[in-house]
Amino acid sequence: MRSYEFVYIISPEIEQEDLESVTDKVGQMIVDRGGQVLNLDAWGRRRLAYPIHKFHEGHYMVAQVQLEPETISELKEKLALSEEVIRYLLVRTEEKEVEPLAAQPPKEPLQEEPEEEPQQEEVEERPEEEEVEEELQQEPVEEQEVAEDAEEGEAGG
C-alpha cells in the first residue's frame, strides 16, 4: 500500500452536525477499497479561492490515507458521483510512520478566526514640493545638441 494525502471539500449546504456522517461515508469509501484512514484533520469552513458549483465556501478536510494504487480510479469515480464532496485532491506522499486514527486522541474542531483589521501600510515619503518644482523648471535638452554630441563621438572615436 502507498501513502497519500487526501484533501477534500464538503459542500457548504451540509450542516455542521452532518459533517461527521459525511466524513465517515468518505472514510468508508476508502476502507471498502482495502485502504485505511490514518489521520483526519478538519480545517473547518473556509472561503474558496473561486466558485465551485456556485459555492463560495466549503468545509475542508485533510486525511492521511493508505491505498493500493489500483483502487484510486475507483475511489475517484465514487467521489465524482458524491453530491457532498465538491472537490478533492489525492497526492502521493513519502512513506512515513503515522499512528492509526484510532490510537490518536480526538481533536477539537477548529474555530473560525475573527477577521483582523487591515493594517495600514507604510507609505514612502514623497519628495518635497520644491524638489519637484526644480525638476520641472529644468530646461529640456534640445534634440539638435544631442545629435551634435553623437556626431562628435563618432568622429573622435
Whichever domain contains 85, its CATH number is 3.30.70.60
Residue 117, in any domain of the structure: no
Residue 146, in any domain of the structure: no
Mean pLDDT of 131-140: 55
Buried b (16+ CB within 10 A) or exposed e, 68-98: eeebbeebeeebeebebbbbbebeeeeeeee
Which grid coordinates belong to 119?
A: 493594517
Residue 139, in any domain of the structure: no
Residue 33, in any domain of the structure: yes
Residue 138, in any domain of the structure: no
**pLDDT for 18 beyond 60:** yes
Q: Report pTM.
A: 0.59
Residue 52's domain spans which residues? 2-102
pLDDT for res 16? 86
pLDDT for res 73? 92
The total number of structural domains in the chain stands at: 1
pLDDT for res 121? 55
pLDDT for res 94? 84
**pLDDT for 32 beyond 70:** yes
Measured in degrees and rounded to the nearest 5, phi and psi for residue 121 equal -85, 150
Residue 35, in any domain of the structure: yes
Q: How many CA atoms lie within 13 A of 83 on its CB side?
A: 2
Any bridge partners for residue 2, and if so which? 67
